[in-house]
A and B are shown apart, each in its own frame.
Chain A
Amino acid sequence: NAGVTQTPKFQVLKTGQSMTLQCAQDMNHNSMYWYRQDPGMGLRLIYYSASEGTTDKGEVPNGYNVSRLNKREFSLRLESAAPSQTSVYFCASSPGTSGSLGTDTQYFGPGTRLTVL
Chain B
Amino acid sequence: ILNVEQSPQSLHVQEGDSTNFTCSFPSSNFYALHWYRWETAKSPEALFVMTLNGDEKKKGRISATLNTKEGYSYLYIKGSQPEDSATYLCASNSGGYQKVTFGTGTKLQVIP
Contact = CB atoms under 8 A, between A and B. Distances in A.
A36 to B, nearest CB: 11
A35 B43 CA distance: 12
Nearest to A37: B102
A108 B1 CA distance: 22
Contacts of B34: 105-106
Interface in B66-101: 89, 91, 93, 97-101
Interface residues of A, number: 28
Contacts of A58: 99
Contacts of B104: 40-42
Contact of B102 (A42, A103, A105): A42
Interface in A79-117: 90, 98-111
Interface SS, B side:
loop
Interface SS, A side:
loop
A26 interface: no
Interface residues of B, number: 24
B62 interface: no
A50 interface: yes
Nearest to A108: B43
Contacts of B42: 110
B99 A42 contact: no
B110 interface: no
A2 to B, nearest CB: 12
Contact of B32 (A45, A102, A108, A109): A102
Nearest to B50: A103
Nearest to B45: A108
A34 interface: no
